[in-house]
Amino acid sequence: LQANKDNALRQASVSAGKVIILRNITEFKERDEAKSNFIATISHELKTPMSSIKMSLQLLNDERIGALNPEQQGLVSNIKSDCDRLLRISSELLDLSQVETGNLKLNISAIDPLKILDYAIDTVKFQAEQKEVKLEVQAATGLPQVHADTDKTAWVLVNLLSNALRYSHEKSRIIISVKAEASKLIFSVRDFGKGIDEQYQKRLFERYFRIPADGSSKSGTGLGLAISKEFIEAQNGQIWVESAIGEGSSFSFALPVG
Ligand code: ADP
């Protein structure tokens, strides 16, 4: 009888434990979702005033308002770049919260890979000119269309190109390539910058990860590659890096052919 009682008690406490664990998981999920929704709202709310600050700053540069002296121009340009950084952080947080709450909406269609390439190159052209970095395209003719979300794929490519530019030496080059392999298209961005130590390569796609003591990453958020991974994997693709210190890095992603 005692043995049966012990057994019953043990079973009761095991199932009570399960209930507590389940309740904890549910609470945790709810709290996580509330946090993501909060982040989404805040980032969204911040975007409007920040965009308007940026517009006012652009107006300050308008000669009709009166010329600024060099010192004032310097201050305006500092505020503008901080403003850009805030806008970037808030839009990256917004993207991330959409991924976390499962609200990432994909608009998949068959698209021409060269169009995405052209758009991404156009977006970073100015940044490249400033550093005198040559952007070289390597793409075979007659590539098949890719089955993807145009905006999200272009976002990833722009992010990889901006990183490549940030970590490239002045007057160097970046190769942007696209090739077909099996039933996939592989996009790659190869720079000839300082490269990435092997011990950090796996961690690059983690949220908020930035290489320690990396001076050039001061202005970054450590979210770009984490979001890129989410965007590519949501489209049934893969993203990876190959790099060697002193030789540069190559970031690639593969997407299914449409
Ligand atoms: P962010 O650039 O905003 O810091 P990312 O997620 O895009 O965030 O990149 C994470 C880190 O990976 C960067 O801080 C940088 O240290 C490193 N990294 C990314 N791209 C390159 C690259 N092309 N060359 C060298 N390091 C890079």
Confidence tier at 35 by pLDDT (50, 70, 90): confident
pLDDT at 169 over 60: yes
DSSP string computed for 176-187: EEEEEETTEEEE
**pLDDT tens sequence across 81-111:** 888 888 888 888 888 888 877 778 888 999 9
pLDDT at 245 over 70: yes
Q: How far is the CA of 247 from the centre of ligand 1 (A)?
A: 16
**pLDDT tens sequence across 213-236:** 766 555 677 889 998 999 999 999
High-pLDDT (> 90) share of the chain, %: 48
Confidence tier at 65 by pLDDT (50, 70, 90): confident
Q: How far is the CA of 200 from the centre of ligand 1 (A)?
A: 10
Phi, psi of 142 (to 5 degrees): 70, 30
Helix (H, G, I), strand (E, B) or coil at 65: helix
| Residue 191: burial class (beta carbons within 10 Å; 0-12, 13-18, 19+) | buried
**What integer pLDDT is reported at residue 204 of this predicted model?**
94
Say which amino acid occupies 56: S
**What integer pLDDT is reported at residue 218 of this predicted model?**
55
**Which of the given ranges, 20-34, 92-106, 170-184, has the highest pLDDT on average?**
170-184
pLDDT at 27 over 60: yes
**What integer pLDDT is reported at residue 100 of this predicted model?**
78
| Residue 15: burial class (beta carbons within 10 Å; 0-12, 13-18, 19+) | exposed
What interface predicted TM-score (ipTM) does this complex get? 0.97
Please tell me the distance from the alpha carbon of residue 233 to that of residue 239, in angstroms, as a whole number: 8
Cβ–ligand 1 contact at 217 (below 6 Å): yes
Confidence tier at 14 by pLDDT (50, 70, 90): low
- Among candidate residues 214, 218, 223, 219, the one with its CA nearest the CA of residue 249: 214
Mean pLDDT of the chain: 86
Substitution candidate for ligand 1 out of 89, 210, 218 with most atoms within 8 A of CB = 210
User: Residues near 171 by Cβ (< 8 Å), separated by ≥ 6?
Assistant: 131, 132, 133
**pLDDT tens sequence across 186-198:** 999 999 999 999 9
Substitution candidate for ligand 1 out of 217, 227, 228 with most atoms within 8 A of CB = 217
User: Residues near 250 by Cβ (< 8 Å), separated by ≥ 6?
Assistant: 188, 189, 190, 191, 241, 242, 243
